Structure 1
């Protein structure tokens, strides 16, 4: 097993970034694509304005066991705006290849005990809730979530923020059997500990 990409799906404000709150500064590196302030007071190491090139450069020399790409869908969205005046469909192919390339990079070129969390917005389709993308290539030719063994989704109900770990048939959520309870606190450190325990990554 090489590096492990994990996807956390949720709308803006649903608790994705807040889930990092229990990490210590020495435990996690954050690629802050949209350069937003963290939604809690604790100071964590983050790089604002992160790009594909910067993320892959840092991961190629990974010194930490866990990294977070905060608002990973903006990697595609910002590239789409940068290429807004470019005509033709090739730009959509490039955007799809760049995002798939980043996931492949995590799997093939990071250490076996390295987990990279993609915090990602959702979109609603006729088939249900899925990861937000740009262009049809990522949707029709490649289901992004298919490249992840773990896809969790945020939930807010009765004042509680949580992660759902198994699909109810209306989304693309999944996780290995018996890794998690069906609903857990939105605590990314807890998620990280459970993944490492399940796959014995600490050995």
Structure 2
């Protein structure tokens, strides 16, 4: 079973930048926002058709995951193994998939389109959980902060449609990191603090409720879990 985690946060909170120290030789980047990455030199590291794909179609993302899992077959029904060299997959962001699908079908009426949207996102996350053991799959997501009448705030993954709200995507991830900016410094929140952030018990100490936003370092820390 692959290690599957989520990095969530507002725009500009450092979600994409946190991927800067991943090894591009063993990382495959799926850019669902189609905006490129956020550090100097990324175009030399992530090359289309090599380790980088720009798409907001859930079906293409699903197909890429099957290829990265070594399950895609050629015309002779033989496994295509080229994707097996990758150890990390980044899907940035799942909201890019949701919004693009919603916009493409905005003129459609009825409940079916929302069911289809929820199904496509759920299938991608659910399939990631079944992928090979030596793979880490990172989902990047935007957040929304809900306020009640008493001023209570709670931050969670932003979703499109009530069906995905009911699923509670955070429940599918063993690790959910909240990207934040504090005094000009980008950090990850590792434990729930009016949010759905969480990490495995013992992975980070009580004094590490906020850590540097380096996802490569986080993966090292999670190797034992």
- TM-score by structure 2 length? 0.82
Task: Give yes or no for the alignment of 1:172 onto 2:171.
Answer: no
Alignment of 1:154-169 (within 5 A): 154-168=179-193
CA deviation digits over 1:146-166, x for unaligned, max 9? Answer: 111110001111121010110
How many residues of Structure 1 are paired with residues of Structure 2 in the alignment? 194
Instruction: Note if contact 1:9-1:122 (Cα within 8 Å) is conserved in structure 2.
Output: yes
Equivalent in the alignment of 2:20: 21
| TM superposition shift of 1:125 | 1.7
Instruction: Note if contact 1:11-1:121 (Cα within 8 Å) is conserved in structure 2.
Output: yes
Match among 115, 120, 143 for residue 98 of structure 1: 120
Q: Give unmatched runs, 5+ long, in structure 2.
A: 69-83, 148-152
| TM superposition shift of 1:6 | 0.7
Match among 55, 58, 75 for residue 52 of structure 1: 58
Equivalent in the alignment of 1:130: 156
Instruction: Note if contact 1:70-1:118 (Cα within 8 Å) is conserved in structure 2.
Output: yes
Match among 178, 184, 207 for residue 153 of structure 1: 178
Instruction: Note if contact 2:32-2:97 (Cα within 8 Å) is conserved in structure 1.
Output: yes
Bigger mean CA deviation after superposition, 146-155 or 53-62: 53-62
Q: Tell me, what secondary structure is at the counterpart of 1:161?
A: strand
Equivalent in the alignment of 1:114: 135
Instruction: Note if contact 2:56-2:100 (Cα within 8 Å) is conserved in structure 1.
Output: no
- For the residues of structure 1 that align with 2:221 and 2:59, how far apart are their CA atoms? 30
Match among 178, 190, 193 for residue 217 of structure 2: 190
Q: Give unmatched runs, 5+ long, in structure 1.
A: none
Q: Mark the structure with the bigger radius of gyration.
A: 2
Instruction: Note if contact 1:9-1:153 (Cα within 8 Å) is conserved in structure 2.
Output: yes
- For the residues of structure 2 that align with 1:125 and 1:158, how far apart are their CA atoms? 23
- TM-score by structure 1 length? 0.90
Instruction: Note if contact 2:55-2:61 (Cα within 8 Å) is conserved in structure 1.
Output: no
Instruction: Note if contact 1:31-1:50 (Cα within 8 Å) is conserved in structure 2.
Output: no
| TM superposition shift of 1:50 | 4.5
CA deviation digits over 1:78-113, x for unaligned, max 9? Answer: 1010110000011111111111111111012x1012
- For the residues of structure 1 that align with 2:95 and 2:36, how far apart are their CA atoms? 17
Bigger mean CA deviation after superposition, 52-61 or 141-150: 52-61
Instruction: Note if contact 2:94-2:121 (Cα within 8 Å) is conserved in structure 1.
Output: no
- For the residues of structure 2 that align with 1:92 and 1:51, how far apart are their CA atoms? 15
- For the residues of structure 2 that align with 1:9 and 1:114, how far apart are their CA atoms? 20
Two-structure CA RMSD over aligned residues (Å): 1.3
